[in-house]
Structure formats: structure tokens, C-alpha cells
Amino acid sequence: VKPRVHDLGGKAEYFGPVRSAISEPAFHQRWEGRVLGMFVLFAGTWRNNIDEARDVMEQLGPQRYFSLPYWSRWLSALEVALERHGVVAPGEVDARAAGQAPAASGSRRPTWVRRLYGRVTMPLLFREGPLPRWVGWIYASLYNYRRAAAGPPRFKPGDKVQVRDAEASGHTRRPGYVRGRRGTITRHVAAMVLPDAHAIGKRESGQHLYSVAFDGEELWGPSAEPNVVLQVDLFESYLTPV
Amino acid sequence: MSATDDAELARRVEAIEQLLVEKRWLRRESIDAVVKYYETSVGPMNGARLVARAWTDPAFRSALLDDATKAAAQLGIGGPQGEHLRAVENGPGMHHVVVCTLCSCYPWPVLGLPPSWYKSAEYRSRMVREPRKVLAEMGLTLAEDVTLTVWDSSAEIRYFVLPQRPPGTEGLPAAELEKWVTRDSMIGVGLPTRPEGTR
């Protein structure tokens, strides 16, 4: 298991001034926008592989994760996805980037539906100005993370819970700073895709997701700032009743 | 992969784009459309429309707080990273701020792509540990009796803040109010501010 460096909440070694700016361009380099464009395309044709992408980004070495531009993390995730889904052959990108330009090899070609999406539908969706209502509606109803759960929710608002402390074996959305801590359910959000399973392509039924409130002191002890509540969205399997 | 600087990264991205075009997965124009869309059609102006509408239309405010995804779709706002939107409302004695400690989750359709500082290790590590200090450094000092709620976007819910309507704006139409609503006020690291050149 490769180390995961992404889980930063409360880690003092990363503390420093926040260099905020009033506004900045969407992309600082041309290639960044191209990465997002290609990523959006493949997210659209393969449905919601964001956890797969996060899983890749999380396993990048600290040098790459922290020192290179943000969008280079997405580039890594894109490359892994393209190889994993057989869209490019191993070594094909290297060869092309090195200036050797063999004709694109016989790796997987798009089905007509996917070709239509990448060549025709996508530019229609991403056009200038506010989206037509139906696009927002399609996104909200088709591209969402809700999935039917196997059973009713185990917890209800007001219930006290403790976050499981056991080490995760792979991708998870349970931040380290809440592990082993006690909080209170404030909302049952919905039953949704469990990222831990989604990241490795497992198809499971949905799992109940809750908003859980933690007092600052519960997380950080007496040195916590006064009157602070942390709200973290946590899946049922991350939680035990108190 | 071994790319370590912008020139190398650019070469690599171009190589991938060439391959995908040759394999007929996409056209360059498809990528152009997405890039242009993120450069011009999403951004804090979208969130400002939602906020100003909520300030002037109580029914819309309720709808926004009840189901922000649906309410935003009514104004043509939606898309990737906006599948599950949620607005959290500031009030007297209550302030909200948003962070993503695990990556950089951000409500793209409402606020655009996240700014660099939001994605920085400093913001992500500190905002849950010493949020009042970070806010004060960013120019927003909260009284101790104000409850500060920090939303860590750890799942697929994308939070944004519905700030309080500033005093002195009574009677202003939504189109004017939109100009008061800043990106930072919807992340929660700032408050709505008087637009330049007005009094």
C-alpha cells in the first residue's frame, strides 16, 4: 500500500499563511484546461469515476502531490484511467510525447454512443451562458451519487456516534482527524455510492450518508478555538453507535 | 509518468489529445468548448444570482435551503460538481465556512473552479484546526459568541454559504444586490461587500 498524503485536516506540518487572491484565471496554463476537458469527457462516458481518480491522486508521492501544479494530479488520474480502460496502450503516451509519432495503435476504439458524446454532445452541453434548464435537470437526475440502500438508515438526527478508528485499506472519505472521535448526527443526507468501493470499481448498493457534527474540543482538546463546530459528511460504515 | 515542469506537462497533454483525436474519441473542438465554458460561463456570478434572488424572494430562499440543486437548476445553474448542492445560511450569531481537507471539492457550477489558495495545503490543513485565526488573517474577525460552523466537504455534497444580506441594502433590486455578493462571501471567508463606485 502506497502512502497517501492527501489527508491534511489539522496537520500542523502544513500550516502556513493562506495566500488568498481576489480573483484568478480559471487556468494558469493552456494544458490545464485541456486536462479538464478530457477528464470531463471521460467522466461523462464512464459515469462518475471521480473516486477512481481521487484514488490515483492520493497515491502520488509527496513531491508530485505538493510541488507540481494542481492539474498535474488530474493528468495523472486521466492517464491511469485511459490505460485502465484500454483507450491508450501502455507506453503509447510516452512515445508520442517523446516526439516519436507512431500511428495510434489498435487499442480500444469508441463505440458510436461514446463517439457521439465526445464529438457532438459534449460541445452542446458545454456552451456559453447559463445552461438550459434541462441540462441542469439531467445532471441532477442522471449524474448523481444516490443509490438505493440495502436497508433503512441505522442512525437518525440527534444520535451520538463514534467514528471507527481502524486504518483504511485504500481510498476512503473518512478524514483522519475525526477517526475515533465522537459526534452527533445532524442530518441523514441520502443513500449514496460508497467511495471506498467505487474507487476500485466495486458495484454495491448505496450506503447511508450522514452529516455529523463534532465539537472543536472533541477533536483538538482544550487548545481548540472556542465555539467551533465541525460538520463532516460520513458514511454509515464509518460510524458506530455510542 | 515523469513530467516535471510546465513545458513537459504541456507536451504530454498534447500527446494524449492527439491520440484521442486520432482514435476518434473526441474532437479538439469538444475540449475547446469545455475550456471556454469554465473560463466564461461558470464563476461566482452564478452563485451571486442565487444569493441575490434568495435575499429578495422568500419562496426562493426556502427552496434554495431545502434543495439547492433543484433551486439552482431553475436558474440554469448545474453540471459537474453540482450534482448535490447545499446552501448553508449565515444568521445572527451564526457563521459558516467551507473547506475540503481531503482534496479540493468545490461547487463548480455555483462558484467556478476553485482558487489556488482554496486548494492549498495551508488552507486545507488549518481551516478545521484554527478556523477563526485563518478567517482573521483573511480579514474576517468573528466575535467569540458567534458560532462558527466549518463544513468539510468529505462526500459528494457541495456546500456554499448563503450570506446575510448587508444592512443598508433595503430596496435594492436583485440585479444590484448581485454585485455585493463576492466569491469569498459564498465560501465563508468573507462577507458581502459594497461594490466599488457606489455609495
Cβ neighbours around B6 below 10 Å, total:
16
Residues B80-106 have pLDDT tens digits of 899 899 999 999 999 999 999 999 999
Which of B4, B72, B102 lies closest to A175 in CB terms? Answer: B102
Residue B197 has pLDDT above 90, yes or no: no
Which of A139, A140, A209 lies closest to B155 in CB terms? Answer: A209
- Please choose, from the candidates B146, B62, B158, B83, the residue with its C-alpha nearest in 3D space to the C-alpha of residue B118: B158
> Distance (Å, rounded) from C-alpha A156 to C-alpha A120?
45
Which of B101, B129, B137 lies closest to A17 in CB terms? Answer: B137
Phi-psi category of residue B171: left, alpha or beta, with phi > 0 → left and psi -120 to 50 → alpha: left
> Distance (Å, rounded) from C-alpha A231 to C-alpha B9?
37
A79: three-class secondary structure by DSSP: helix
Q: Tell me if the pTM is above 0.90.
A: yes
Residues in chain B with CB shorter than 8 Å from the CB of A131 are: 76-79, 109
CB A165 within 8 A of CB A175: no
DSSP code, position A130 = S
Chain A: residue whose CA lies nearest to B72 = A136
Residues in chain B with CB shorter than 8 Å from the CB of A11 are: 125
- Please choose, from the candidates B115, B108, B112, the residue with its C-alpha nearest in 3D space to the C-alpha of residue B69: B108
Interface of B with A in 37-76 (CB under 8 A): 37-41, 43, 46, 69-70, 72-76
Which of A228, A235, A236, A237 is best to mutate for the B interface (most B CBs within 10 A)? A228
CB-CB under 8 Å, A136 with B152: no
A219 touches chain B (CB under 8 A): yes
CB-CB under 8 Å, B37 with A130: no
Q: Which three cell numbers stand for residue A128?
A: 456559453
Residue B1 has pLDDT above 60, yes or no: no
Query: What pLDDT score was predicted for residue A105?
Result: 63
Flag the least confident range among A101-110, B35-44, B150-159.
Answer: A101-110
Surface-to-core class of residue B73, CB atoms within 10 Å of its CB (0-12 exposed, 13-18 middle, 19+ buried):
buried
Amino acid type, B35: V
Which of the residues of B are catalytic?
A: 100, 103-105
- Please choose, from the candidates B126, B103, B152, the residue with its C-alpha nearest in 3D space to the C-alpha of residue A234: B152
Query: What pLDDT score was predicted for residue A10?
Result: 97
- Residuewise pLDDT in 10s, chain A (242 residues): 567 899 999 999 999 999 988 888 999 999 999 999 998 887 776 654 788 889 989 999 888 899 889 999 999 999 988 988 888 999 999 999 998 877 666 667 788 888 888 888 888 888 776 666 666 666 667 778 899 999 999 999 999 999 999 988 899 999 999 999 999 999 999 999 999 998 888 888 899 999 999 999 999 999 999 999 999 999 999 999 99
Strand pairing class (B147-152; A228-235): parallel
Query: What pLDDT score was predicted for residue A110?
Result: 82
Residue B114 has pLDDT above 90, yes or no: yes
How close A185 gets to chain B, by Cα (Å)? 14
State mean pLDDT over B122-149.
98
Query: What pLDDT score was predicted for residue A50?
Result: 85
DSSP code, position A92 = H
| In the block, residue with C-alpha cell 465555539 | A227
Which of A82, A139, A189 lies closest to B82 in CB terms? Answer: A139
Query: What pLDDT score was predicted for residue A202?
Result: 81
CB-CB under 8 Å, B76 with A130: yes
Query: What pLDDT score was predicted for residue A210?
Result: 98
The interface predicted TM-score of the complex, written ipTM, equals 0.95
Strand-pair partners of A161 = A183, A241
Helix, strand, coil % over all residues of chain B, rounded to 5: 45, 10, 40
CB-CB under 8 Å, B115 with A21: yes
- Please choose, from the candidates B99, B141, B86, B69, the residue with its C-alpha nearest in 3D space to the C-alpha of residue A187: B86
A46 touches chain B (CB under 8 A): no
DSSP code, position A132 = P
Q: Which residues have a Cβ under 8 Å from the Cβ of B133 and sit 6 or more positions away? A: A225, B126
CB-CB under 8 Å, B13 with A34: yes
CB B44 within 8 A of CB B183: yes
> Distance (Å, rounded) from C-alpha A10 to C-alpha A220?
9
Which of A26, A226, A234 lies closest to B144 in CB terms? Answer: A226
CA distances in angstroms from A185 to A139, A156, B25, B89, B185, listed in the order given: 28, 7, 45, 19, 27
How close A97 gets to chain B, by Cα (Å)? 5
CB-CB under 8 Å, A36 with B35: yes
A111: three-class secondary structure by DSSP: coil
Residues in chain A with CB shorter than 8 Å from the CB of B186 are: none
> Distance (Å, rounded) from C-alpha A217 to C-alpha A226?
8
Residue with the larger pLDDT of the pair A121 and B174: B174
CB B109 within 8 A of CB B77: yes
What are the start-end ranges of the H helices in chain B? 6-22, 28-40, 44-56, 58-66, 68-74, 108-111, 116-119, 121-126, 131-137, 174-177, 183-187
How close B168 gets to chain A, by Cα (Å)? 24
